[in-house]
Copies of this chain bind each other. A is one copy, B any other.
């Protein structure tokens, strides 16, 4: 865990950094017309591709594939099912086609791999994976593939009285196992998609079992503002994302009456990370049309990952 620093030192002195500093100065200026009291300083951040690396695939997808593989090793009859076979033979192409084109099969896989399991058992499994499995290119644990400038931004905001929430399209329980360690963000401030739970008892003790079926709505696209209202109950004054599924969240923040900061992380650095617009075509257009602040990873960030910072 790196030291807390609130100087945004990994941000170059470009317009993106200035936009952040000016926005924060504006809403915290007690006498100003755009002053926002601390309880209303809500900032929401997408997770995959915004706070940490989402390529070559979501770390949660690697986690699920790892689980499919282990299940197939224990019970080879499972190899009759395409997903297990693809996992067993390291056929990443199979999984690449699932999101967002075949969500129902993706959901089925997620249920198959962890449904019926007590929640604390699932969490231990997720944590073990995130602690140990390594990113295929950077060769560090997935949980270390966090963008250093974003970690500094979270700290900077909290240092100025903001409440920071993570709004992931990915698994809420999955991310909560490491959110305190890697983002200094408490579990209850992580919103995401999740499968449902069933209240149950085992040996006289309460156990929450993971059940097939997603909590509605999934935390993506128009579901993000809905879940923000359900979990937070206030419209954010700052929203940061990187993909098409973040557009409605940024639009929602922008519908606030007062000062607002909407930012879009642009993956344009294939040397230090990855360069891609796929999955962000519409949100990049929306950013141009709505004057959202685009963050160029290549030009605006001095350091990329936390594991590279001094």
A positions within 8 Å CB-CB of B = 39, 119, 163, 172-173, 176, 180, 186-188, 190, 194, 196-199, 205-208, 215-216, 222-223, 225-226, 229-234, 248, 251-252, 254-255
Of the A-B pairs whose beta carbons lie under 8 Å apart in the complex, a sample of 11, sorted by A's number, is: A39-B180, A172-B230, A176-B233, A187-B233, A188-B231, A194-B230, A198-B226, A199-B222, A206-B225, A206-B254, A215-B230
Are A230 and B197 CB-contacts (below 8 A) given A206-B248, A206-B252, A206-B255? yes
Contacts of A190 in B (CB 8 A): 233
Assuming the contacts A173-B233, A194-B230, A230-B215, asked whether A186 and B39 have C-beta atoms less than 8 A apart, the reply is yes
Chain B residues with CB under 8 A of A234: 187-188
Of all A-B residue pairs in the complex, the 10 with the closest CB atoms, nearest first, are A199-B222, A187-B233, A205-B255, A206-B255, A206-B252, A176-B233, A188-B232, A197-B226, A206-B251, A208-B229
Looking at A180, A187, A216, A230, the one whose CB has the most chain B CB atoms below 10 A away is A230
**Residue from A180, A188, A251 having most chain B Cβ neighbours under 10 A:** A188
Q: How far is the CB of A307 from chain B (nearest CB, A)?
A: 24
Q: Specify the chain B residue showing the minimal Cβ separation from A252.
A: B206
Closest residue to A42 on the B side, CB-wise?
B188
Which residues of the partner chain B approach A180 to less than 8 Å between Cβ atoms? Answer: 39
Q: Please give, as numbers and ranges, the residues of chain B lying within 8 Å of A251 by CB-CB distance.
A: 206
Task: Report the minimum CB–CB distance from A44 to chain B (whole Å).
Answer: 12
Q: For A232, list chain B residues within 8 Å (CB).
A: 187-188
Instruction: From A163, A197, A198, A234, name the one whose CB has the most chain B CB atoms within 10 angstroms.
Output: A197
Give the shortest distance, in Å, between A181 (CB) and chain B (any CB): 11
A180: min CB distance to chain B, Å: 6
**Pair A188/B233 contact, Cβ less than 8 Å:** yes
Q: Are B199 and A233 in contact (CB under 8 A)?
A: no
Cα–Cα distance between A171 and B77 once the two chains are bound (Å): 48
